[in-house]
Amino acid sequence: MSRTPFVAGNWKMHKTIAEAEEFITGLLPLAGAIDDVQIGVCVPFTAIQAVVDSTRGSSIEVYAQNVHAAEKGAYTGEISIAMLDELEVHGVVVGHSERRQLFNETDADLRAKVPALLAAGLTPIFCVGETDAQREGDETEAVLRTQVTEGLADVADEDLAKVTIAYEPVWAIGTGKVASPQQAQDACAFIRSLVADRSAAAAEAVRIQYGGSVKPDNAQELLALPDVDGALVGGAALEPQNFAAIVQAARA
């Protein structure tokens, strides 16, 4: 079975509304009509409305970068799924290593967030990945097993393929130290085997992105790997030409 590649740009804490609109103006002529690659931009909350409006009618999907699992309540500073759904986002990035490390997002938080997003019809881009010390300590598979098993524990087997999983080794994020094709393939294949432990059909269908120092000049090699179905791109997604070049690299 062939899986449609999915390339998403995670802007992190970059771009005001004006800068976001400038990016979309640059991206639309380069990638706005591509229909053989799923394309997403993961946008700061403040620019979501503007980007949803400026991408309407194009093939560019809009994602938020975090969400709270609770329906509503006394959670000062948090944003609910209903608030994002109202803005017509396509989905939300959850479990990014920056949120895990800097803002204490836990596997238990993700266990609540992922099914809550699916229940609302939104796509979670669910991030997992080991640190440098964990890789050096030969703990990569154990870490991925815990993150995938716990984060997806409350997703029904038949819904697993609605999740996009992003394998982002922490040591490759923002470092220019990209995973080797073998490392990326091995980890993504291992993640797929974890999904297969729950459902063979879901494992066949689920998209697994690689993220961590993806650039226009290394994207093609990574995206050609059998178990890599796309990319989650940080730094190289901040500029339309670079991002569009990575999208092009995902085309068959």
Region binding ligand 13P by CB under 6 A among candidate stretches 51-59, 145-153, 228-236, 239-247: 228-236
Amino acid at 156: A
User: Is residue 203 near ligand 13P by the rule CB under 6 A?
Assistant: no
Q: x/- binding map, residues 53-92, to ligand 13P, per CB under 6 A?
A: ----------------------------------------
Which of residues 173, 208, 244, 245 is near ligand 13P by CB under 6 A?
A: 173
**CA pair distance 242, 40, nearest whole angstrom:** 14
What is the phi-psi region of residue 212: left when phi exceeds 0, alpha when psi lies from -120 to 50, beta otherwise? left
Residue 72 CB, nearest approach to ligand 13P (Å): 28
User: Is residue 234 near ligand 13P by the rule CB under 6 A?
Assistant: yes
Question: Is 22 one of the catalytic residues?
Answer: no
Q: For residue 133, what is the enclosing H or E element?
A: helix 132-136
Closest CA to 251 of 22, 35, 20: 35
8: β partners: 40, 232
Question: Is 14 one of the catalytic residues?
Answer: no
Q: Are strands 91-94 and 60-64 parallel, antiparallel or unpaired?
A: parallel
Q: Interface residues for ligand 13P in 127-156 (CB under 6 A)?
A: none
- Among residues 34 and 173, whose Cβ is nearest to ligand 13P? 173
Of 96, 98, 105, 130, which one is the catalytic site residue? 96
Region binding ligand 13P by CB under 6 A among candidate stretches 53-61, 116-124, 166-174, 184-192: 166-174
| Size, binding site for ligand 13P by CB under 6 A | 14
φ, ψ of residue 103 to 5 degrees: the values are: -125, 15
**CA pair distance 54, 193, nearest whole angstrom:** 39
Q: For residue 64, what is the enclosing H or E element?
A: strand 60-64
User: Is residue 212 near ligand 13P by the rule CB under 6 A?
Assistant: yes
User: Is residue 209 near ligand 13P by the rule CB under 6 A?
Assistant: no
Residue 144 CB, nearest approach to ligand 13P (Å): 16
User: Is residue 105 near ligand 13P by the rule CB under 6 A?
Assistant: no
Amino acid at 190: F
Q: For residue 154, what is the enclosing H or E element?
A: none
Residue 48 CB, nearest approach to ligand 13P (Å): 17
Place of tokens 């999904």: 195
CA distances from 53 to 26, 30, 130, 237 (A): 15, 18, 36, 20
Any idea which residues carry the catalytic annotation?
96, 168
- Contact residues toward ligand 13P (CB under 6 A) are 10, 96, 168, 173-174, 211-214, 232-236
